Structure 1
Amino acid sequence: MNNKFPAIWFFDMEGTLLKKEYSLDNGKVAPSAWTVLARKLGEQCYLEEEKTKDRWLNGEYRGYLDWMADTVEIHKKYGLRKELVDQVVEDAKLYNGAEELFKWLRENKAITVLITGGFKALADKVQRKLKINHAFSGCEYFYDENNLVEFANLLPSDNQGKASFMRQVIEEHGVSSKDCIFIGDGMNDIYLAKEVGFSIAFNAQNELSDIASASINQGQNKENLLEIKELISSYFIIT
Structure 2
Amino acid sequence: MNSSNNISKRTYSKLIVFDMDSTLIDAESIDELARAAGVVDKVSVVTEKAMNGEIDYNQALKERVALLKGLKLEKAMETMNSMPLMPGAEELVKHVKSLGFKTAILSGGFTLSTDRIAKLLDMDYVFSNILEIEDGYLTGRVSGPMTENHSKEKAFEQIAKENGLKPENCIVVGDGANDICIFKIAGCAIAFNPKPILRQYADAVITQKHLRDIIPIIDSLDLE
TM range (shorter): 0.7 to 0.9
Query: 1:37 aligns to what?
Result: 33
In 1, Cα distance between equivalents of 2:88 and 2:9: 26
Q: Which has the higher contact order (CA 8 A, sep 6+)?
A: 2
Residues 44-59 of structure 1 mapped to structure 2, 5 A cutoff: 45-49=39-43, 52=46, 59=55
User: What is the TM-score of this pair, normalised by structure 1?
Assistant: 0.79
Q: Is the 8 A contact 1:12 1:116 kept in 2?
A: yes
- Whichever residue aligns with residue 187 of structure 1, its letter is A
Query: 1:75 aligns to what?
Result: 68
Query: 1:170 aligns to what?
Result: 160
Residues 8-23 of structure 1 mapped to structure 2, 5 A cutoff: 8-20=15-27
Local SS of the residue matching 1:89:
helix
- The alpha-carbon deviation at position 180 of structure 1 amounts to 0.3
Query: 1:92 aligns to what?
Result: 83
Gaps of at least 5 residues in structure 1 are 21-31
TM-aligned CA distance change 1:114 to 1:58, over 3 Å: closer
The sequence identity of aligned pairs, in percent, is 27
Moved more, 4-13 or 194-203: 4-13
Deviations 1:197-224 (A, max 9, x none): 1111111111112220011111xxxx22
> Is 1:197 aligned to residue 159 of structure 2?
no
- Whichever residue aligns with residue 67 of structure 2, its letter is I
Q: Which has the larger radius of gyration?
A: 1
- Whichever residue aligns with residue 237 of structure 1, its letter is D
Query: 1:227 aligns to what?
Result: 213
Q: Could you say which structure has the higher strand fraction?
A: 2
TM-aligned CA distance change 1:238 to 1:49, over 3 Å: closer
In 2, Cα distance between equivalents of 1:233 and 1:160: 30
Local SS of the residue matching 1:118:
strand
- The alpha-carbon deviation at position 46 of structure 1 amounts to 3.4
In 2, Cα distance between equivalents of 1:108 and 1:180: 14
- The alpha-carbon deviation at position 104 of structure 1 amounts to 1.5
- Whichever residue aligns with residue 36 of structure 2, its letter is K
Query: 1:237 aligns to what?
Result: 222
Match of 2:138 among 126, 146, 149: 149
Query: 1:136 aligns to what?
Result: 127
Match of 1:206 among 190, 196, 208: 196
- The alpha-carbon deviation at position 115 of structure 1 amounts to 0.3
